[in-house]
Structures are given as structure tokens and as C-alpha cells.
Structure 1
């Protein structure tokens, strides 16, 4: 019957009194183990069927605190590891930057040393070039020697040497110096006189035209005019003299002069 079936109560929950009794019994049992101090208050606070179960008592709180402590320690360890990794990274970056700066400095110093060496080499090359002497004409030869005799010269002998040259041949300064005379020179025709850096002078006569003027500085091999046959001349050629002074009568042997300056005639 319907009423008989309901009275059996197999699926009905325990009464409030029964749950309380079970709670008290649990507390009594825990007291024998020494845990009652922790659990007593929460256990006695359970007054109805909706109160906390044994899984929500102080015992569970103790376990949660231990887990929280472990999490805090793990987080602290992770932070320490992260800080150490960041410090190592910063040190590595600083070391790399220092090495790069050192390499850059060495490269700059090397480049500077190379520039200075190149500048020194260029200055030395220029010094050598300025101290170098050349022949006044390319691919020529001496047609009249120094001190050759004859009535053609007022002194009775040749005061320089003559280089064979067709009219219009380029005439070069034999060495670096300053032009002290450029123009008509009487028997020398159109002539140029140069004072060189060693204090000696050279003269170039009978030219058809001049390319320099007084006060101009010249370098070895620079064109100063074109050969010709002006003045007291029997035909196109270059009259060349070496002197100790700027004026006539201070002549010295031009061949010995040029050879002493490294010019092979």
C-alpha cells in the first residue's frame, strides 16, 4: 500500500538530532588524538543540517595554509630565479657592449694610424718629388758642351750647355723653386731663371714662349715655356745654365750639377 511504502523511509535523510549526535561523537573521537583543540569550536558551531561538513572544518584550513606557504615559497623562488636571469642577461649585454665599444675603438685607432701613415707617406713622396731633379727636355741630348770655345760667345766660351730641340718643344723646370726672371734676356732671347730650394739657380734661354712669371713657384718637370731660337741663336735649341747666383758670370758645370742631383744625361 502507499502508506506502508512511505513508512519504510529508506531514502529519507537523517534527522537533525542524529547529525548533531554524529558531530559530537566525531569531536569526542578527535579529542583522543589531540586535534580537538583545532576542531572543537567549528564542530560545536554546527547547529543545523546546512552547516559545514567535516571536509570544511579547521583540518582542511590547516592543509590550505600549508599549500599557500608552498605557493609563496615557489613564487619567491621563481622571482629570485627571474632576478638572477635578468642580472645575468644585463651583465651579458653590458659585456657585449663593452666588447663592441673596445672593438670600435681599436678599429678607429687602426684607421687613424693608417690615415697618419698614408699622410706621412704622401708627405714623404711630395718631399722626394720636390727634391727630385729632372732633365729640362724629354728625349734630348747635349749638342754643345759646357765651356766650348768660339767667337759666338762674348766671354769666349760657352757658359752653359745646349740641348737639341725642335722649335715648340716643352721645356721643364729641372727642380722645385721660384721664378726670379721671366722675359727678354738680350743675347739669351726669351729666358727664365729659377732659384731652387738648395740656393742654386738654373737658366733656360732662346725660348719661343714662356709659361711662367716672376714670383711663381714651380715643381720638378713643370712646363715653363717652349723651345725656340730667340736672341743670339743659330737655330732652335735650349740653352741651359746652372749658376750659384742669379746673374751672368756665376755659372757652374751644368752636367755635373744635374748629375749631382740624380739626373742621368
Structure 2
């Protein structure tokens, strides 16, 4: 008697059906990624040691870092060069300033020395006729002088010899002076007066400032004179009769006579 398989809800699945279902289940698990959690340790290890795909990202990062380092190094070098250049510029500017200060100080020192030398020169006195000597002394007696004595001293000088101011002062008289002939009177810087008589010519004018050794005329024999010479007087005032010893006056001002 032949057996037949019962049908209905209590019917078990066939082997083929079970196999098909298993395959479907595995496919479903693989599709959803669950297989990763169900895989055996061997399969997981095998998955871990699979080579990583080289995308070039690591090389790009390394190259980028190297370029950044180079740019940074260049920036640092440029900054150092700029700092050195600035320091050198400051040093050069300071050296230039110091050099200018030294030049200025040296110039000022020269100017001070020149002013001092000029001041001393202006305060010095000299002989009215260079290299001459006194031929007639002060207060020498004789009838040729109206006062009865010589009110000055005579310096030996040939006609036309250069006559100079003995010191710094201002001309208060320049022209004919009667018995003095052509004469020049100078008010000196210290308030005293000097007179130069019997000149053959006059080279200054009233109101003119003169310095020591400046030419004021040339010697001669004009006025009450017995021959060419220079009559020199020193006075305390501008008027006749205020005369003082010319030799003592010149010596008091450092002149060897």
C-alpha cells in the first residue's frame, strides 16, 4: 500500500525547501552586514590583515607639512635678516650722529679758539713804527715846544714809513693839527687816547674803527718838525695837556720799548 504525504499546516518543509531557506537567510545576513558579527575569529582576523588601500592622502599630508616647514623657515630667516638690517641701520645712524657731533664739537672748539685768539690780538699793543727806536724822550726840554717840554716821544722814521695804530680803538681826529701837522688821534678801547703827528699822509677817517697794527698813515715832517719822524703821544683825554708818559703807557700794555 502506497503512502502519501499529508498536506496542510502541519506539513514539515522539505529538505530542498530548508536548504533554499538557509541560503536565503545567509544572503540576507550578508546583505545587511550582520555577517561581520557572526563571523568566526578566523574570518575576523583575516579581515583585519587585509591590505589598506593606498589613497595618496598620507603622502599629501606629509608633503603639505614639509612645505609649511619650508615656508616657516624662510619667514624666520627673512625676519632675522630684517632685524639684522634694522640693527645695522640703527648702528650706522648712531655712528653718523656721533661723527656729526664730533665734527660739530671740533668746529666749535676751533671757532672758540679763533675768537679767543682774535680777542687777544685785539687787546694787544704794538709799536707805532716797526723796528724803530725813540729818538727824543718824553718831557725833553727845548724852545721848539710851546709847553717848554716834549709832550710825547719821537720815533725815528724815514719819510713815508708805515705808521700803525698801537691798539684797538676809534679814530676821533684825522687831518691837520696845527703844530702837529697831519695827525691822527685815536680813542683806545680802554678810554685812553693816542696821537700820531707830522704824518706825510693819512689813510683813516674820523669814526673809523682800527685794530692793532692797522696802518693809519705814513711818517713825514709836516707841521712844527725839524725832519722826518713820528711824534707819538699817550693821553688820558682828547685835549692837549692830558699827556702821560708814552713809554710807560706802551710798556704797561706789554710793548717792549
Please list every run of at least 4 consecutive aligned residues from structure 1 whose deviation after the TM superposition is greater than 2 angstroms. Answer: none
Unmatched runs of 5 consecutive residues or more in structure 1: 1-28, 40-57
Match of 2:221 in 1: 229
Q: Could you give the per-residue CA deviations for residues 113-162 of structure 1, whole angstroms, max 9, x where no partner exists?
A: 11111111111111111101110001110000001111111111100000
Match of 2:157 in 1: 165
Match of 1:240 in 2: 232
- Give the TM-score, by structure 1 length: 0.79
Unmatched runs of 5 consecutive residues or more in structure 2: 1-42
Offset at 1:68?
1.0
2:98 counterpart SS class: helix
Give the RMSD, CA atoms, in angstroms.
1.6
- Give the TM-score, by structure 2 length: 0.81
Match of 1:124 in 2: 116
**Distance of 2:44 and 2:84 partners within structure 1:** 59
Match of 1:67 in 2: 59
**Distance of 2:183 and 2:145 partners within structure 1:** 17
Give the one of 69, 72, 75 matched to 1:77.
69
**Alignment partner of 1:260 is 2:252:** yes
**Alignment partner of 1:174 is 2:188:** no
**Distance of 2:138 and 2:200 partners within structure 1:** 23
Matches within 5 A, 1:131-146: 131-146=123-138
**Distance of 2:44 and 2:233 partners within structure 1:** 135
Offset at 1:30?
9.7
**Distance of 2:252 and 2:53 partners within structure 1:** 117
Offset at 1:33?
3.8
**Equivalent pairs, count:** 216
Higher CA-based Rg: 2
**Distance of 2:89 and 2:139 partners within structure 1:** 78
Give the one of 36, 48, 57 matched to 1:34.
48
Distance 1:35-1:236 versus aligned 2 partners, 3 A rule: same
